[in-house]
Amino acid sequence: MSGSGAPGNGNGAPHLRRSVNAFELTATGVGIIVGAGIFVLLGLAAAMAGGAIWIPFLLAAAAAAVTGLSYAELSSMFPSAGASFYYVRQAFGANPAFMVGWLMVFANVISASAVALGFSGYLSSFTVVALAPVAIALILVAGVILVIGVKESVSLGVVFTGIEVLALIIAVAVGVRFIGRVDYLEMPLGMAGVLQATTLVFFAYLGFEQIASLSEEAKNPARSIPAAILLAVAITTALYVAVAVTAVSVLGWQELSRSPAPLAEVVRRATGAHVGVVVGIMALFATANTVLFLLLTSARLTYGMAVAGSLPKVLSAVHPRRKTPWLATLATVVIGVVFVFFGDIEDVAQLSNFAIIAAFLLVNAALIYLRYTSPDAPRPFRTPGRLGRMPVTPLLGIGLSLFMLAQLEARVLAYGALIALAGLAVSMLLRRVGLAGDEALPPRSTARQTSPGGDS
């Protein structure tokens, strides 16, 4: 066992290298959250919220922050690469935890495949390419970078994140002179439309939870992981609100709602320049960055589950020189490549929403449970607000998670439940054939916050 509140790799291999600083963690979080979604969500949200499009982004940010606070506390208690899986296992045991881990790995990898196909689509606007081979090449290149090292992977991701953020800042900068020309409280569908838009744009904030999967490679994770989660949500909120206000100011909500490429249209209208090529190039960086980070966090979660004994131990192998979970990375890359051959997997990729919200539900419940069962466990970060012994924020997180699940289509809920049950079957099969067996976890009340070699 390591002394991190998370088990060691358990196979005598080196530990993951603690080399990611607080700035890189925050930038990684911003890159995961921003992704490519904001480039297309604006128009859809404007149709629902009208000139008040900025309000849903604030409400969605509050909803994300509620669960973000739970992740912040739990990651400070248990800085494990297993993240959501590990927190749920500490509270509720192996089976619920395996379901969470299984769902999130599945969701992230299949989303990486879908986004890789999207990268191919953007590239095809510049030259003739075969979509599947390009998507596979992107996944393989990302896998090689991830095996080389987490520092190299995160550094590249930070550069790509800078390009994504620059695109948003440019859109705001060229359109700022239009601010004040519309009614920012106009709600064509009333508050019902604003709430509907809030549910939609909430998904533009997903990704903050994946920062926790870098806990075993972060310097001083007990402090840097919670700070990075909350800062990433705050920074993206400021960007999103600024972009929303600017976009509706330049185009008006009616025209904004009809635009298939709202940010490109905002810049074109504000400057008079044709920006299709520039926006396409930035979209390439955004999609490539998303693939890199999805595979990064999927590999860490797979590694964390293998360390805990819920997946075959071989997947907990750490490269002796690069200090990366290379077999877990290879496994996620292979699965990602396989899903590329499914072609149009947009509907299946929607299952990521189910998986992540289900994880939010159980993570918030785990925090409440641990507050009652392990009240004296070290908590370098503690979520604010409580009623007696009941913490308020995770209770709100559970309510919001149930509300978000209720917004998903029935078929998505059905498919998600089937995949969760399939995960249980896989868990039972692995145990039966001896390829998995849960390792003992460190005592909750004595878990320390750093591992050997980590900063104190």
Please tell me the predicted confidence (pLDDT) of residue 36.
60
Which homologous superfamily is 22-375+390-435 in? Amino acid/polyamine transporter I (1.20.1740.10)
Going by pLDDT thresholds of 50, 70 and 90, the confidence category of residue 431 is: confident
Query: Domain residue spans in the chain?
Result: 22-375+390-435
What is the identity of the amino acid at 394? P
- Is the C-alpha dihedral spanning 199, 204, 206, 211 positive or negative? negative
Please tell me the predicted confidence (pLDDT) of residue 395.
95
pLDDT over 80 at 295, yes or no: yes
- 3-state SS class at 20: strand
Check if the beta carbon of residue 181 is closer than 8 Å to that of residue 324.
Answer: no
Give the residue-averaged pLDDT of 166-189.
Answer: 91
**218 phi and psi angles, rounded to 5 deg:** -95, 145
The DSSP secondary structure of 367-427, one letter per residue, reads: HHHHHHH-TTS--SS--S-EETTEEHHHHHHHHHHHHHHHHS-HHHHHHHHHHHHHHHHHH
Q: What is the pTM of this model?
A: 0.84
Q: Which residue has the higher pLDDT, 275 or 3?
A: 275
pLDDT over 60 at 194, yes or no: yes
The DSSP secondary structure of 218-284, one letter per residue, reads: BSSHHHHHHHHHHHHHHHHHHHHHHHHHHHHHHHHHHHHHH-SSHHHHHHHHHH----HHHHHHHHH
Give the residue-averaged pLDDT of 310-325.
Answer: 91
Q: What is the pLDDT of residues 22-40, one digit of tens each?
A: 999 999 999 888 866 676 6
Check if the beta carbon of residue 294 is closer than 8 Å to that of residue 115.
Answer: yes
- Top mean pLDDT of 22-36, 123-137, 138-152, 281-295 is at 138-152
The C-alpha atoms of residue 143 and residue 170 are separated, in whole angstroms, by 31
pLDDT over 70 at 441, yes or no: no
Please tell me the predicted confidence (pLDDT) of residue 13.
43
The residues near 278 (Cβ < 8 Å, ≥ 6 apart) are none
pLDDT over 90 at 209, yes or no: no
Please tell me the predicted confidence (pLDDT) of residue 251.
92
pLDDT over 70 at 299, yes or no: yes
Q: What is the mean pLDDT of the chain?
A: 85
pLDDT over 60 at 363, yes or no: yes
Rg (CA), the chain: 21
What is the identity of the amino acid at 177? R
Give the residue-averaged pLDDT of 333-338.
Answer: 94
The residues near 66 (Cβ < 8 Å, ≥ 6 apart) are 393, 394, 396, 397, 400
